Structure 1
Amino acid sequence: MGSRRNFLEKLTVSAVGLPLLYHSNPLFAASEAPYQGPVLKVAIMGLGSYGTRVAEAMKDCKRAKLVGVISGTPSKIKDWQAKYDIPKKNCYNYENFDAIKDNKDIDAVYVITPNGLHKDQSIRVAKAGKHVICEKPMAVNADEAQEMVDACKAAKVHLLIGYRMHYEPKTVEVIKMRQNGEFGKVKFFQGQSGFTIGDPSQWRLNKELAGGGAMMDIGIYSINGARYMLGEEPIWVTAQETKTDPIKFKEGVDETIQFQLGFPSGAVANCLSTYNMSHLDRFFMTGSEGWVEMQPSTGYGPIKGRTHKGELNQSHTTHQTLQMDGMSQLIFEGVQPIVPLDGEEGLKDMKIIDAIYEAAETGEKVAISL
């Protein structure tokens, strides 16, 4: 009888607690009260594989909506119109997209074209009075990035860079742990970013379009990761380049670069960027009181990680969905992510990349001033 009475008492308490659980749990609250606030109306420029990934992710956005496209391929525009229900009046090509200036149905343009095109296209979007979202790296060097920052300031529009990891839940948790001192004095970061690239004719291996090689595409993850994991800005860099296939990786297109960053606190980062080794997507950081390892650390799928306290178990949501909803909240409400993703943030990474290339070429330690 005692066991049965205890069971009924627990059941009653649980039932009483259900309304509280329902109203306090954000998952229940989300289903109970659909989002009614402003929605960022976005046109995607560049309808390649990553543009498609963003478009698919935006189907689940509550604060952002895909409403337009800009492409140099008429057949792609037609396919996207049908697939994403995009009106013809919101479809443009690379010659006429300045006309978005008069289109009130578009708030922002997400530039997802080859790196070498980012500067001119982003500046044209800004001059048309639309917010600019630009995929990383934001340009091919720091000078171009500065031009973009200046143009968007002059046009009084936002310039945001596609740093999806700044919204990724496990990444955010690690940054919070570091901010709360849970790792103690952080001393060392290691970033490994690489894969074996395929088709030698693709734009990523074209110096004019890519601005470089692996560093511009995958190495930037370790650069940005070192900065947000350590919570500091680097003050010097050394770097070494290795090239085993000069036919595939022509002059100015890096295959593999190892680089080391020094920080004001004395912390150091040791990183690898490569197009010639696969299964490299790992961050490790250690401090006086603890450590964290993330692998995969920046891939599109679920991020996995563990610390001295155990596994990171935050739930996975498609990164681009979180990014686009977060950017909408930033633009309309001024809500900033835990790490900035504005043009100035992208400019810092470009300055570091410039310094890495200089260090690899000269063999000297290069000072960094951000």
Structure 2
Amino acid sequence: MKNTSIFQSLLQPAARNRRQFLADAGMGFLAAAGLSQLPGNSAAAQGAGQPLTDTIPVKLYPLDHPSERAPAKVPAPLDPAKRIGFALVGLGHLTLEELLPAFGQCKYAKPVALVSGDAAKAKQVAAQYGIKSTSVYSYQNFDTIRNNPEVQVVYIVLPNSMHEEFTVRSAQAGKHVLCEKPMANTSAEAQRMIDACEKAGRKLMIAYRIQYEPKNAFVKELVRNKTHGKVRVMEMFNAQNIANNGQWRLDKKLAGGGALPDIGIYCLNTARYLTGEEPEWVMGSVYNTPGDERFRQVEESVLWQMRFPSGILVNAATSYSVHQSRRYRCLADNGAWFGLDPAFAYHGLQLEMSQAKEQYDWKQAPEIPEQNQFALEMDHMAWCVLHNKEPYTPGAEGLQDHRIMEAIYQSAREGKPITLKTPQKPDAFRGTPPPKDA
């Protein structure tokens, strides 16, 4: 049956510069501090824990011979009236180019509100996605979102320095929070975000899309199950050549740092995800090219190493000044290596493996159907609200990355390894894993 959802028929809106929203960003943290704590809204409470029996796929007869690969499951989205409503805060590149289009592939989530400092842009985007004009907010009147029962989750897609303020304001307005990575500018800010959501009884999830993506999950199983023996070394690299156009990522007050918290965090967080462990020590080095105006405030390139309790060594690097390259490789002791190239990108991830067979090395590219990473991520948050579960990547997961990044910076300053406290249990900072059939 043809899906006639409005979200799948909409054209992707063009992205625009975010400087205006920074200029217009509103009332501020102090205004939010006086808001009283609200209980959970009725829509979320009614959906929590209910069985989702209406998401059973329609059965179709097979088109291919049984020897061929099994077909993908027929989409079976939840009735739109029962899906979890998201408000998106910030209408920059990520929201317009990725998040709003991704709702067309969501099973449990839908967009119901927008928040922007550009009223004309917000009005245009709302019309494109069928969002009510009364559900468009500015940064100044954001707190009135507490009166909108359609909004159950606020997705914060703002410069890093604004994550704490809008997480606190969202929680105090009685809304759950999905926040882009990095979680904040500092570990202290991240801890305050966690405290605010706990005080308000709201869920907090950090948008680590890699941990919801099936190709990375496949690699995780190879690592943890020792399918090709014990992984000894991981090599990870994430780089891009950033434009010198006044963007907020080059402003330390807004971004907190440069390449490391923006794109290097993918290497850091993915290594932790694949192993299920936390590093015992880190050793880092930072470099800025003299005279490059882009890096007057933030770092250009970072190289670092980590050792995990199982003995796995990670060699990682990130840069803001070289041609785009996103990849990682896990090297095992039983005649194999495997990983993704490209990795970390929004689309087009590719698995690759090499195995020793007799006197030959066989290079393979296992094919796992691509799924929209943002749809998977938002659906997990919606599923957790529906079932009252802690998200797989909660605030504690984001806080841990900040602690490790701060240790990497410290190591670079002091020129020596920094020892870290290492929890003994696996997945120490993660919540409920995404169900395979969700």
**Same-fold call, TM > 0.5?**
yes
Superposed CA offset, 1:216-257 (max 9, x none): 111001101111123311111111111114542445400001
Q: Does 1:296 align with 2:339?
A: no
Deviation at 1:62, TM superposition (A): 2.0
Q: Does 1:242 align with 2:287?
A: yes
Match of residue 360 from structure 1: 412
- What does residue range 264-303 of structure 1 map to in structure 2 within 5 Å? 264-289=309-334, 290-303=336-349
1:316 equivalent among 350, 359, 370:
370
Deviation at 1:316, TM superposition (A): 0.6
- Tell me the amino acid that sits aligned with residue 112 of structure 1: V
Distance 1:168 1:335 in 2: 19
Gaps of 5+ in 1: 1-15
Deviation at 1:34, TM superposition (A): 5.1
Deviation at 1:71, TM superposition (A): 0.7
Give SS of 2:105's match.
coil
Superposed CA offset, 1:67-105 (max 9, x none): 100111111111112111111221111111111112101
Distance 1:280 1:124 in 2: 37
Distance 1:151 1:84 in 2: 31
Taking only aligned residues, the RMSD between alpha carbons, in angstroms, comes to 2.3
Distance 2:149 2:284 in 1: 47
Match of residue 145 from structure 1: 190
Distance 1:246 1:101 in 2: 48
Distance 1:120 1:268 in 2: 37
Distance 2:71 2:394 in 1: 28
Q: Does 1:225 align with 2:288?
A: no
* Greater helix content: 1
Distance 1:17 1:243 in 2: 57
Give SS of 2:100's match.
helix
Distance 2:296 2:421 in 1: 27
Distance 1:334 1:40 in 2: 12
Match of residue 78 from structure 2: 35
Gaps of 5+ in 2: 1-60, 356-363, 423-438
2:171 equivalent among 108, 126, 139:
126
Percent sequence identity is 36
- What does residue range 186-265 of structure 1 map to in structure 2 within 5 Å? 186-265=231-310
Distance 2:233 2:275 in 1: 8
1:178 equivalent among 214, 223, 231:
223
Match of residue 347 from structure 1: 399
User: Which has the higher mean CA deviation after the structures are superposed, 346-355 or 309-318?
Assistant: 309-318
Relative to 1, partners in 2 of residues 1:291 and 1:336: Cα closer, same or farther, differing over 3 Å?
farther
Distance 1:294 1:166 in 2: 14
Relative to 1, partners in 2 of residues 1:280 and 1:363: Cα closer, same or farther, differing over 3 Å?
same
Q: Does 1:47 align with 2:91?
A: yes
Match of residue 67 from structure 1: 112
Give SS of 2:210's match.
helix
Are the equivalent residues in 2 in contact too, given 1:200–1:248 (CA < 8 A)? Answer: no
Distance 1:168 1:336 in 2: 18
**TM-score between both structures, scaled by the size of structure 1:** 0.88
Superposed CA offset, 1:139-175 (max 9, x none): 0111111111111111111101111111111111111
- Tell me the amino acid that sits aligned with residue 301 of structure 1: H
Distance 1:142 1:243 in 2: 24
Give SS of 1:166's match.
helix
Distance 1:336 1:117 in 2: 24
Give SS of 1:66's match.
strand
Number of aligned positions between the proteins? 348
Superposed CA offset, 1:40-59 (max 9, x none): 10000000000112011112
